[in-house]
A and B are shown apart, each in its own frame.
Chain A
């Protein structure tokens, strides 16, 4: 009798456990009624989008939710062109292959530049010979054929001392790497292989700050946060121009070239028409970027540019101004007037 009772209890316990487990997975699946805007893409744009998303949620008093992911510009475009996300963060313009993907799924988009990203060339604070460098010299140091050959500073410029060059830079997965190679070596992703690469810019800062012959590049925000550890180098575009240090002024007026570029968000047409909050969010983004970009240590675009693109957004001007490839030395003022391609 006793064993019979025990068996019963055991059985019901087992049954309960199974029931609970089944419930867990069968659980009625109703789509969330709360309005959600999905943003994904570049981690370079992330801090700005995070700031805008945070403010936008406060602004709409929690009626609209915004989520932001960091799949990278390429990974993000894959999702965006499948129609999975509403807004795409991009540290470079959309590429031809991604345009094709979007066209295949009938995803049209509005391209909106939201801030500047400036690359800074930095060196060890005790470095006395490098206060400015030309783009040609940068190319001599970084180009693919320099691998194993250019090892000392005096090989680049005879005025510089015979001290070994120790190079640091972002790894090949970052948009910063793509842009630097394109702007300096004139070919995206073409670079010497014998330098210390890291996907984490803070590691590059550490490396350069501990190496007397250190030289490297990364986003300007990382220099701003580590001013006491590293030294900024002015960049001279060509023989005719002056050497310019990156600063909000020199980036905004276009004199810090070729190492500054705009970063973008892409807004999906489908989301714009199906969810009114997406338009509201995009407008909010353009209206508040001046304030928020500065707050997250990015460089804002001139007010006129934001206004021009807000007009483009309202007029539903779809497509990209770049025709499917990255571009070095963009003049931000004329960008909004370009003809667009899908």
Chain B
């Protein structure tokens, strides 16, 4: 061994080289340190993106509320559209939106949950099922205007439903169907298999298991799907314009409760309608600044309506989730 001023250090190196455990430890420490820095950087990166995204969202929403503030009052909600911006309201639009959402949610919930249950619990794993699954995944990617064209051909002209709330509800119902199916399936998948087996062992039939166990346990997940679905459907404009939604309509659908027997009427399903995004689109494209204020106020109310619908679903989900633990 040669002598050098760096001997001490060298010695240390030698010791380290001779002691494999110490060397390994040092290496690991270095690795952890570098990984920690990467981790920190990634955390910072993610956080910055989150801040930027929330800031943009916050700016857009507050801009909407500030610009529409002067029209956000009770009168705006209880008046029909008008050529006079200051007298115009969105009564027919929000009632229309709500009515369409009611049909959409009932159609998509029943069809979607049933399809989900069939595919997850009953369907055999064969090429046919595979094709159905493929079709559902593809359906989620179809542009909404295509659903509008399909609905125009099938619901409006073939079935003669006309340019009605029923047609609109069915169209949007089909549009959001894949969301409901996928979330239903995920919810069913997350239920531990031993619950099914326990029920079988007690002699329950498949139908009983689905009805008494799987459906109640998965309702939280299904409602999450419903939230996503309604949030998407409530803002759709293109397919509704295609099927012939109106823009100016100064009357409400037939009330569902009548004073004469049989007291309940479903006539409203066949009535013409307009929805909030169409009203908003119409006002945005007008030259007068006052109409733009109306459009901003309509946007704010559309956001609030979505929030209320979602809050309802979240509350329901909370109630359901509280009941089950495993």
Known: A21-B106, A24-B106. A29 touches B270 (CB 8 A): yes
User: Is A126 part of the contact surface with B, judged by Cβ < 8 Å?
Assistant: no
Contact B211 A23 (CB under 8 A): no
Query: Does A254 count as interface, using CB distance less than 8 angstroms?
Result: no
Contact of A47 among B110, B272, B286, B292 (CB under 8 A): B286
**Neighbouring A residues of B163 by C-beta, 8 Å:** 69
Contact mask for chain B residues 81-97; partner A; CB cutoff 8 A; 1 contact, 0 none: 11100000000000000
Q: How far is the CA of A69 from the CA of B287 in the complex (A)?
A: 19
Q: Is the CB of A28 within 8 A of B247?
A: no
* CB proximity of A38 to chain B, nearest CB, Å: 8
- A43 part of interface (Cβ distance < 8 Å): yes
Q: Find the B residue at minimum CB distance from A62.
A: B251
CB distance from A75 to the nearest CB of B (A): 9
Q: Is the CB of A297 within 8 A of B246?
A: no
Contact yes or no, B266 A28, CB < 8 A? yes
Q: Mark B236-276, 1 if CB is under 8 A from A, else 0.
A: 00000100111111110010000000001111011110000
Say if the beta carbon of B36 comes within 8 Å of chain A: no
CA distance A258 to B299 in the complex (A): 39
Q: Is A188 an interface residue (CB 8 A)?
A: no
> Which residues of chain A from 6 to 57 have any CB-CB distance to chain B below 8 Å in the complex?
10, 14, 21, 23-25, 27-30, 32, 34, 36, 40, 43, 46-47, 49-51, 53-54, 57
Interface: B285 (CB within 8 A): yes
- Find out whether the CB atom of B251 lies under 8 angstroms from the CB atom of A68: no
Contact residues in B for A332 (Cβ distance below 8 Å): none
* Cβ of B151 to closest chain A Cβ, rounded Å: 15
Quick check: is A70 within 8 A (CB to CB) of the other chain? yes
Would B248 and A49 count as touching, CB distance under 8 A?
yes
| Chain B interfacial residues counted at CB < 8 A | 34
**Known contacts being A67-B248, A71-B241, is A23 close to B83, with CB within 8 Å?**
no
B63, CB-defined interface residue at 8 Å? no
Given contacts A10-B211, A292-B83, contact A57 B250 (CB under 8 A): yes
> Which of B106, B248, B271 is A50 in contact with, Cβ under 8 Å?
B248
Instruction: Judge whether A68 and B254 touch: CB under 8 Å.
Output: no
Q: Tell me the nearest residue of chain B to A79, going by C-beta.
A: B244
Q: Which residue of A lies closest to B216 (CB)?
A: A10
Closest-by-CB residue of A relative to B166 is: A25
Known contacts: A47-B83, A54-B82, A68-B248. The answer to whether A32 contacts B254 by CB under 8 A is: yes
In the complex formed, the residue of A with least CB distance to B83 is A51
- Docked-complex contact B282 and A202, CB < 8 angstroms: no
B197 within 8 A of A: no
Bits for A62-77, please: 1 = Cβ < 8 Å to B, else 0: 1001111111000000
Q: Which of B83, B246, B264, B267 contacts A32 (CB 8 A)?
A: B267
Interface residue? A137 (CB, 8 A): no
Please report the total number of A residues contacting B with Cβ < 8 Å.
46
Known: A32-B254, A54-B250, A70-B247. Contact between A24 and B83, CB under 8 A? no
Residues of B within 8 A of A296 (CB): 83
Given contacts A23-B264, A27-B265, A54-B83, contact A68 B246 (CB under 8 A): yes
- B199 CB contacts on chain A under 8 angstroms: none
Binds B, one of A108-116, A219-227, A306-314: A219-227
Which residue of chain A has its CB nearest to the CB of B245? A69
Task: Enumerate chain B residues within 8 angstroms of A32, measured Cβ to Cβ.
Answer: 254, 267, 270-271
In the bound complex, how far is the Cα of B106 from the Cα of A123, in angstroms?
A: 52
Q: Answer whether residue B201 sits at the interface, using C-beta atoms and an 8 A cutoff.
A: no
For window 203-218 of B, CB contacts with A under 8 Å fall at: 211-212
Flag whether B61 is at the interface (Cβ < 8 A). Answer: no
- Is A295 positioned at the interface, with any CB of B under 8 Å from its CB? yes
Q: Please tell me if the beta carbons of B241 and A225 are within 8 angstroms of each other in the complex.
A: no
For residue B11, CB closer than 8 A to chain A, the reply is: no
What are 11 inter-chain pairs, A to B, with CB distance below 8 A? A10-B211, A28-B266, A29-B270, A32-B267, A32-B270, A50-B82, A54-B82, A54-B248, A66-B250, A71-B244, A201-B285
Q: Which B residues contact A (CB, under 8 angstroms)?
A: 81-83, 106, 110, 163, 211-212, 241, 244-251, 254, 264-267, 269-272, 282, 284-289, 292
Name A residues whose Cβ lies closer than 8 Å to a Cβ of B: 10, 14, 21, 23-25, 27-30, 32, 34, 36, 40, 43, 46-47, 49-51, 53-54, 57, 62, 65-71, 79, 199-202, 219, 221-222, 224-226, 292, 295-297
Instruction: Across the A-B interface, give the 6 residue pairs with the lowest CB-CB distance, nearest first.
Output: A27-B266, A68-B248, A225-B287, A51-B83, A222-B287, A221-B287
